[in-house]
Amino acid sequence: MTDAPKPGTPLVEFDNLKVRFRGERTVHAINGVSLSMQPGEMLGLLGESGSGKSVTLKTLLRLLPPKRTDIEGGVRVNGTDIKTLSGRRLAAYRGGEVSMVFQEPALALDPVYTVGDQIAETVMRHKGVSRRAAMDVALDMLTRVRIPSPERRLKNYPHEMSGGMRQRAMIALALACRPQLLLADEPTTALDATVQIQILLLLRELQKEFGMGVIFVTHDIGVAVEVSDRIAVMYAGNIVETGTTRDVIKDPRHPYTKGLLAANLHGAVKGERLDAIPGSPPALEEPPSACSFAPRCAFARPACLEALPPEIDLGGGHKVRCVLEQDQVKTPQPVEA
């Protein structure tokens, strides 16, 4: 289990993270991600399907198949390199320090055990309390996530609950041991709009109440804006833009971020086509040697195909990887002695 967070220590740090899957073909899923977040922060990870968002979360929980996965670079939680964890320490870390809300609770919850039993088992394993005490915690968590008649729902099986109620139960399970970091992998995708809003507001409220950090994965810009303090935009296994939610939404600087913002229904005119991003993401069978977005970018130039663009610091924590911004950075003049 990782130690309690030290003052000034980032909750999560990725240092040039690379993840490669070996099989019939090699897939370079993550290609040099460097990113950090502070305790109590809510970070939105935004991007298309296949951009590497879920792989990033599973790397944090060490859920990737070890026999065919190669991981390079640093992955630290509270300063501890999680690649060094094994056995009991790894088991205590999962669910105790870092927990996850999966995209489809009907698949994540065990169908042959009641919801109360599943939450209680987690609490007993990590906290070493009696079953009765663990069931009290389970009841308290179901109450906190506002499931109606929580005493009765403790004895329900997952199939006896609606989709929104199962998602609330999944959140209760993930938060039962008060983790320092919650990973939410598109937890509202399968829900209707009304329930989506309720789940988002609930997550935000619980995040503030427990003081935990949250990484929220989504491809929905509206969702990212609703819950995030900061946004990291991901494409082809790398972070192309990061910044506060306001900076990224109000002043997007990467062409891919601009394309994502334009490809939505807000402000669209009935009968007219949406401004979709042309083409499709790369297959990533080889590690990128240049800008991966260049083949789809309307602003691409020869320099985009020659080398990986450097990360440009725009100030205030707003960063972008694009040669268009590199051209606007003034070269510092030497200071005379």
Distance CA 43, CA 207 (A): 12
The tokens for 12 are 């999560």
Structural tokens at position 134: 């663990």
Q: Which two tokens stand for residue 30?
A: 């993550």
pLDDT of 325: 84
Residue 301 has pLDDT above 70, yes or no: yes
Instruction: Give 308's Cβ-side CA count (13 Å radius).
Output: 13
Q: What is the mean pLDDT of the chain?
A: 89
The pTM score is 0.89
Query: Residue 237: pLDDT band by 50, 70, 90 thresholds?
Result: very high
Residue 295 has pLDDT above 90, yes or no: yes
What mean pLDDT is predicted for residues 45-68? 93
- Residue 174's pLDDT is 94
Would you list the domain boundaries of the chain? Answer: 111-178
Question: Helix, strand, coil % (nearest 5) of the chain?
Answer: 35, 20, 40
**CA torsion, points 53, 57, 62, 64, in degrees to nearest 10?**
-30
Q: How confident is the model at residue 6 (pLDDT cuts 50, 70, 90)?
A: low
Query: Is 176 within 8 Å of 141 (Cβ atoms)?
Result: yes
* pLDDT > 60? residue 64: yes
d(CA 320, CA 316): 12
Using the predicted structure, report yes or no on whether residue 300 has a pLDDT greater than 70. yes
Helices (runs of H) and strands (runs of E) counted in the chain: 12, 12
Q: What is the pLDDT of residues 155-191, one digit of tens each?
A: 999 999 998 899 999 999 999 999 999 999 988 776 7
Per-residue pLDDT tens over the stretch 124-164? 999 999 999 999 999 999 999 999 999 999 999 999 999 88
* pLDDT higher than threshold 60 for residue 336: no
Task: State yes or no: pLDDT of 332 exceeds 90.
Answer: no
pLDDT value at residue 241: 97
